[in-house]
Chain A
Amino acid sequence: MTGEVAVLGAGMHPWGKWGRSFVEYGTVAARTALGDAGIGWRDVQSVVGADTVRGGYPGYVAGATFAQALGWQGARVTSVYAACASGAQAINTARAQILAGLAEVVLVVGADAAPKGFFAPAGGDRPDDPDWLRFRVLGATNPAYFALYARRRMAVHGDTPEDFALVKVKNAAAGALNPHARYRAPVTAEQVAASAVVADPLRLLDICATSDGAAALVLSSMEFARRHGATNPVRVRAVSTVTPTYPKAVLDLPDIATDSAVAVEPAPESFRASIARAAYEEAGVGPEDLSLAEVYDLSTALELEWYEDIGLCGAGEGAKLVREGATALGGRIPVNPSGGLASFGEAVPAQAIAQVCELTWQLRGAAGRRQVPGARVGITANQGLFGHGSAVVAVR
């Protein structure tokens, strides 16, 4: 099929709080991915880095930073930023370069070193910056938004805090089997219920941590993969990077208000649902074809919304899926078999790349004790603030 690129290699630096530079994490992930691909660094023709806003200037020019750390060898470099969706935009940039014939082999890297506690906006006095304003005017942290969605689900769909806790229990059980995860201990519903409330109704164990970590992929043209001897590689078949349509009727980070729907009727489909739909259309598959999904569980409640947005069930039926165990390992459609953000914590520019790493290992049948049997088709879904959505469909 035209439009596909091959995933030759995947690699990570384990997630945690290691107290070192994001450059070191990214370089470890890149070297691991190159080793996995059997590709020499000097054979890479392009490097795409997903930026981190926490690493100073090297973080803003991540592509060049990783190329220098690996040893300048003349490859073209690109650096992209799209908040939590940066990693998927980096993958999409690499794919576009390959499909356009600008490069045959591209290295994609994302890495972060996160501070403890709430993410905060860049410093200074910047009243023109919506991200600065939501903190200045309201003190609205990221968990505050997650909690608004969670409360809304409870009121509209009848979800309960116990449903949300089931998501954490499920993801912790999967993460316990993943050597790259930061949290590898099983978690009980009682432990979730006993953790401190951060933003009612969400508790500490409902909300993902902020982590250090890195992920990398080696992507190539299908023709290069054949010449390289990879006869049946995992293929990226679609990358969705759609934006919302006006009026956006759902309050997203860092909004203080939604768009007004006075002049134009909102689209019947939510922005998050449109992200997955675009990926399905491009890939020529649907939710019924999926073997697994990796979704952005910034909170437990948000994972349930993703079930609905990627078409695993109808609106309001997400909690039913997790109660039935359908989305657990061994269930009908495992979601976040990696352990998800619940087990990793968020390393922003690495996270969407890490989702594709997990698809790669699952589709290769190389995911060890968390393997989804016979995995053939997987989707990732992710949303970054300022209107960045992403979804990747990979097949084998």
Chain B
Amino acid sequence: MPQTRTPVVAGWFTGDSTDEDFRLLGTRCSACSSVFFPRQDVFCRNPQCAGGELTEVPLSRRGTVWSYTDGRYRPPAPYLSDPDVPWEPYTLVAVELAAERMVVLGQAAPGVGVADLAVGMTVEVAPGVLIGGAAAGTDSAPVWTTWHWRPVPSEGTGGAQGGAA
């Protein structure tokens, strides 16, 4: 019996799709063009905006690393993690998106450690599953899908740093 694939949060990224089509989903205000992620669906939060219609918009696929760290210890609930499986550290990356002028956090793809990253490096979003997700491998439990950031292999590292300090 195939495992069910369930987004860890609904409506924040495209459904099961190829790497090329996968995107984070935010919303954009029709009046002031501000972008919101996590998505705002009711009110624009720009205080200078009278308020427009908020429509879904895919975020840029690529960005540059603003900062990064890892989690050497198991996070507490509600993180979905099987306490019977030894904790494997995972990496968190904050990525600056130039077009949206914002920084978005995410887990790094499996196998990407802090030694593989540098501030200013180009990364891209990719579909993935929650690292350490609960009871993965059992037939009845869902697989929790999410987004990951991964280095773009062909491009140089380092270089321009983001301006959002």
B105 contact set on A, CB distance < 8 A: 134, 138, 140, 251, 255-257
Answer yes or no: B71 CB below 8 A from chain A CBs: yes
B71 contact set on A, CB distance < 8 A: 139, 141, 144, 199
- How many angstroms from the CA of A149 to the CA of B92 in the assembled complex? 12
Answer yes or no: A320 CB below 8 A from chain B CBs: no
Cβ-defined contact, A263 with B69, below 8 A: no
Cβ-defined contact, B76 with A135, below 8 A: yes
Cβ-defined contact, B76 with A118, below 8 A: yes
Given the interface pairs A258-B164, A263-B33, the reply to whether A136 lies near B78 with Cβ below 8 Å is: yes
Cβ-defined contact, A261 with B69, below 8 A: no
A-binding segment of B14-22, B43-51, B135-143: B43-51
Residue of B nearest to A129 (CB): B78
- How many angstroms from the CA of A383 to the CA of B103 in the assembled complex? 20
B119 to chain A, nearest CB (A): 4
Cβ-defined contact, A156 with B80, below 8 A: no
Cβ-defined contact, B46 with A156, below 8 A: no
Interface residue from B70, B103, B165 paired with A257 (Cβ < 8 Å)? B103
Residue of A nearest to B107 (CB): A138
0 or 1 for each of B1-22: is its CB under 8 Å from A? (1 = yes): 0000000111010000000000
Interface residue from A123, A147, A152, A261 paired with B66 (Cβ < 8 Å)? A152
B76 contact set on A, CB distance < 8 A: 117-118, 120, 135, 141
Main secondary structure, interface of A, reads loop
Residue of A nearest to B103 (CB): A258
- How many angstroms from the CA of A386 to the CA of B94 in the assembled complex? 19
Answer yes or no: B102 CB below 8 A from chain A CBs: yes
- How many angstroms from the CA of A222 to the CA of B100 in the assembled complex? 52
Answer yes or no: A313 CB below 8 A from chain B CBs: no
Cβ-defined contact, A138 with B49, below 8 A: no
Cβ-defined contact, B69 with A148, below 8 A: yes
A245 to chain B, nearest CB (A): 8
- How many angstroms from the CA of A133 to the CA of B161 in the assembled complex? 28
B34 contact set on A, CB distance < 8 A: 247, 259-260, 262-264
Cβ-defined contact, B37 with A148, below 8 A: no
- Name A residues whose Cβ lies closer than 8 Å to a Cβ of B: 117-118, 120-121, 123, 125, 127, 130, 132-141, 144, 147-152, 155-156, 196-202, 246-247, 249-251, 255-264, 266, 315
15 pairs across A/B with beta carbons < 8 Å?
A117-B76, A118-B75, A120-B77, A123-B77, A133-B9, A136-B80, A201-B69, A246-B48, A260-B101, A261-B101, A261-B102, A262-B100, A262-B101, A262-B102, A263-B34
**Known contacts A152-B67, A256-B104, A262-B102; can you find 17 more A-B pairs with CB under 8 A?**
A118-B73, A120-B76, A127-B9, A136-B8, A140-B75, A151-B69, A151-B119, A156-B165, A201-B69, A246-B46, A246-B47, A246-B48, A250-B165, A251-B105, A256-B37, A259-B45, A260-B34
Lowest 8 CB-CB distances: which A-B pairs, in order? A139-B75, A155-B119, A147-B69, A120-B76, A261-B101, A260-B35, A139-B79, A152-B67
